[in-house]
Amino acid sequence: MANHGNRPKGGARIPAKMTGARKPGLSRRALLLGSVVVGSGGVFAWSVLGSTQSAKAGTITVWKSPTCGCCGGWVDYMRGKGYQVSVNHVANPDLIKANLGVPNALYSCHTAKIDEYLVEGHVPEGAVAKLLAERPKLKGIALPGMPDGSPGMDGVPGLYRVVGFDANGRIYRFAEVGV
Protein backbone atom coordinates (compact mmCIF):
# COMPACT_ATOMS: atom_id res chain seq x y z
CA MET A 1 0.00 0.00 0.00
CA ALA A 2 1.33 3.45 -0.92
CA ASN A 3 2.30 5.84 1.80
CA HIS A 4 0.30 9.04 1.42
CA GLY A 5 2.04 10.77 4.35
CA ASN A 6 -0.15 13.32 6.10
CA ARG A 7 -3.15 12.99 3.79
CA PRO A 8 -6.57 12.39 5.30
CA LYS A 9 -9.06 10.10 3.62
CA GLY A 10 -10.23 12.81 1.18
CA GLY A 11 -6.72 13.23 -0.26
CA ALA A 12 -6.21 16.87 0.87
CA ARG A 13 -2.79 17.78 2.20
CA ILE A 14 -2.35 18.85 5.80
CA PRO A 15 0.22 21.68 6.05
CA ALA A 16 3.53 20.77 7.69
CA LYS A 17 4.17 22.06 11.16
CA MET A 18 5.57 25.62 11.13
CA THR A 19 8.17 24.72 13.75
CA GLY A 20 11.55 24.42 12.06
CA ALA A 21 10.25 25.67 8.72
CA ARG A 22 12.09 28.58 7.02
CA LYS A 23 10.57 31.99 7.30
CA PRO A 24 10.83 34.24 4.28
CA GLY A 25 13.78 36.76 4.25
CA LEU A 26 17.35 36.57 5.51
CA SER A 27 18.39 34.55 8.50
CA ARG A 28 20.44 36.19 11.20
CA ARG A 29 23.39 34.03 10.23
CA ALA A 30 23.24 35.12 6.57
CA LEU A 31 22.84 38.75 7.59
CA LEU A 32 25.83 38.56 9.96
CA LEU A 33 28.01 36.79 7.37
CA GLY A 34 27.05 39.34 4.71
CA SER A 35 27.88 42.22 7.05
CA VAL A 36 31.33 40.78 7.78
CA VAL A 37 32.07 40.27 4.07
CA VAL A 38 30.91 43.76 3.09
CA GLY A 39 32.70 45.38 6.03
CA SER A 40 35.96 43.55 5.29
CA GLY A 41 35.72 44.52 1.65
CA GLY A 42 35.21 48.15 2.63
CA VAL A 43 38.22 48.13 4.95
CA PHE A 44 40.36 46.53 2.23
CA ALA A 45 39.18 49.02 -0.41
CA TRP A 46 39.87 51.96 1.92
CA SER A 47 43.36 50.71 2.71
CA VAL A 48 44.22 50.20 -0.96
CA LEU A 49 42.25 52.89 -2.75
CA GLY A 50 40.85 55.44 -0.36
CA SER A 51 43.56 56.26 2.09
CA THR A 52 45.43 59.51 1.66
CA GLN A 53 48.33 58.14 3.68
CA SER A 54 51.13 57.16 1.34
CA ALA A 55 52.61 53.75 1.94
CA LYS A 56 56.05 55.39 1.87
CA ALA A 57 55.05 58.43 3.86
CA GLY A 58 57.05 59.43 6.87
CA THR A 59 57.83 62.45 8.97
CA ILE A 60 59.60 65.37 7.31
CA THR A 61 61.36 68.17 9.17
CA VAL A 62 61.61 71.42 7.21
CA TRP A 63 63.79 74.48 7.81
CA LYS A 64 62.60 77.64 6.09
CA SER A 65 62.37 81.38 6.38
CA PRO A 66 59.20 82.53 8.19
CA THR A 67 58.42 84.89 5.28
CA CYS A 68 58.70 82.39 2.41
CA GLY A 69 55.31 81.50 0.95
CA CYS A 70 56.48 79.01 -1.68
CA CYS A 71 58.09 76.87 1.04
CA GLY A 72 54.70 76.75 2.74
CA GLY A 73 53.24 75.62 -0.59
CA TRP A 74 55.71 72.71 -0.73
CA VAL A 75 54.86 71.79 2.88
CA ASP A 76 51.14 71.75 2.02
CA TYR A 77 51.86 69.67 -1.10
CA MET A 78 53.78 67.06 0.91
CA ARG A 79 51.09 66.95 3.60
CA GLY A 80 48.57 66.38 0.82
CA LYS A 81 50.66 63.38 -0.26
CA GLY A 82 50.32 61.87 3.22
CA TYR A 83 53.54 62.98 4.92
CA GLN A 84 53.64 64.47 8.40
CA VAL A 85 55.62 67.69 8.19
CA SER A 86 57.07 69.75 11.03
CA VAL A 87 58.30 73.23 10.16
CA ASN A 88 61.15 75.15 11.77
CA HIS A 89 61.23 78.86 10.96
CA VAL A 90 64.83 80.05 10.90
CA ALA A 91 66.33 83.48 10.30
CA ASN A 92 69.17 82.12 8.15
CA PRO A 93 68.25 78.97 6.15
CA ASP A 94 71.65 79.02 4.40
CA LEU A 95 73.37 78.41 7.72
CA ILE A 96 71.21 75.28 8.21
CA LYS A 97 72.07 74.08 4.68
CA ALA A 98 75.80 74.54 5.31
CA ASN A 99 75.64 72.78 8.69
CA LEU A 100 73.71 69.84 7.19
CA GLY A 101 76.09 69.51 4.23
CA VAL A 102 74.01 70.66 1.25
CA PRO A 103 76.37 71.64 -1.62
CA ASN A 104 76.24 75.41 -2.39
CA ALA A 105 75.37 74.78 -6.04
CA LEU A 106 72.12 73.05 -4.99
CA TYR A 107 70.73 75.67 -2.59
CA SER A 108 67.05 76.44 -2.84
CA CYS A 109 64.76 78.25 -0.43
CA HIS A 110 64.11 75.45 2.09
CA THR A 111 65.78 72.30 3.36
CA ALA A 112 64.04 69.18 4.63
CA LYS A 113 65.07 65.93 6.26
CA ILE A 114 63.24 62.62 6.09
CA ASP A 115 64.81 59.59 7.76
CA GLU A 116 68.56 60.02 7.19
CA TYR A 117 68.13 61.92 3.89
CA LEU A 118 68.13 65.63 3.06
CA VAL A 119 65.67 67.04 0.53
CA GLU A 120 66.68 70.45 -0.82
CA GLY A 121 64.10 72.65 -2.50
CA HIS A 122 60.82 72.02 -4.30
CA VAL A 123 61.42 68.32 -4.97
CA PRO A 124 58.32 66.48 -6.30
CA GLU A 125 56.98 63.73 -4.05
CA GLY A 126 57.71 61.07 -6.68
CA ALA A 127 61.43 61.65 -6.21
CA VAL A 128 61.09 61.53 -2.41
CA ALA A 129 59.16 58.25 -2.68
CA LYS A 130 61.87 56.84 -4.97
CA LEU A 131 64.56 57.92 -2.48
CA LEU A 132 62.78 56.17 0.39
CA ALA A 133 62.04 53.03 -1.64
CA GLU A 134 65.53 52.58 -3.11
CA ARG A 135 67.57 53.90 -0.16
CA PRO A 136 70.67 54.80 -2.21
CA LYS A 137 74.00 55.71 -0.60
CA LEU A 138 73.34 59.44 -0.89
CA LYS A 139 73.23 62.25 1.62
CA GLY A 140 70.18 63.67 -0.11
CA ILE A 141 68.39 64.87 -3.22
CA ALA A 142 67.73 68.35 -4.58
CA LEU A 143 65.82 70.34 -7.15
CA PRO A 144 68.16 73.33 -7.39
CA GLY A 145 66.75 76.83 -7.63
CA MET A 146 63.02 77.46 -7.65
CA PRO A 147 61.70 76.04 -10.95
CA ASP A 148 58.33 77.33 -12.20
CA GLY A 149 55.49 74.86 -11.66
CA SER A 150 57.39 72.70 -9.17
CA PRO A 151 55.50 71.86 -5.96
CA GLY A 152 54.84 75.12 -4.10
CA MET A 153 55.79 77.33 -7.06
CA ASP A 154 53.47 79.15 -9.44
CA GLY A 155 53.49 78.11 -13.06
CA VAL A 156 52.66 75.15 -15.22
CA PRO A 157 53.81 71.83 -13.71
CA GLY A 158 56.36 70.01 -15.80
CA LEU A 159 59.09 67.42 -15.74
CA TYR A 160 61.97 68.09 -13.34
CA ARG A 161 65.52 66.74 -13.10
CA VAL A 162 66.23 65.90 -9.48
CA VAL A 163 69.85 65.34 -8.51
CA GLY A 164 71.39 63.35 -5.69
CA PHE A 165 74.43 64.34 -3.67
CA ASP A 166 76.78 62.42 -1.43
CA ALA A 167 78.62 63.36 1.77
CA ASN A 168 81.59 64.64 -0.28
CA GLY A 169 79.41 67.05 -2.26
CA ARG A 170 79.49 65.03 -5.49
CA ILE A 171 76.34 65.47 -7.55
CA TYR A 172 74.62 62.66 -9.46
CA ARG A 173 71.61 62.33 -11.72
CA PHE A 174 68.83 60.88 -9.54
CA ALA A 175 65.42 61.08 -11.23
CA GLU A 176 63.34 62.87 -13.79
CA VAL A 177 59.87 63.27 -12.34
CA GLY A 178 56.71 65.23 -13.00
CA VAL A 179 54.26 66.76 -10.61
Gyration radius of the chain over CA positions: 31
The neighbouring-strand residues paired with 61 are 86, 113
- Residue 26 contacts by C-beta under 8 Å, 6 or more apart in sequence? 34
2: left (phi over 0), alpha (psi -120 to 50) or beta: beta
Q: What is the pTM of this model?
A: 0.69
The neighbouring-strand residues paired with 161 are 176
- In this predicted structure, the answer to whether residue 11 has a pLDDT above a threshold of 70 is no
Most confident of 14-18, 23-27, 94-98: 94-98
Beta-sheet pairing, 117-121 with 140-143: parallel
Report CA-CA distances (Å) from 179 to 29, 87, 138, 159, 175: 50, 22, 23, 7, 13
Per-residue buried b or exposed e for 17-44, using 16+ beta carbons within 10 Å of the residue's own CB: eeeeeeeeeeeeeeeeeeeeeeeeeeee
Question: Nearest 5°: phi and psi at 72?
Answer: -65, -35
Q: pLDDT, tens digit, for every residue of 39-97?
A: 444 433 333 333 344 444 679 999 999 998 889 999 999 999 999 999 999 999 999 99
Report CA-CA distances (Å) from 19 to 8, 16, 22: 21, 9, 9
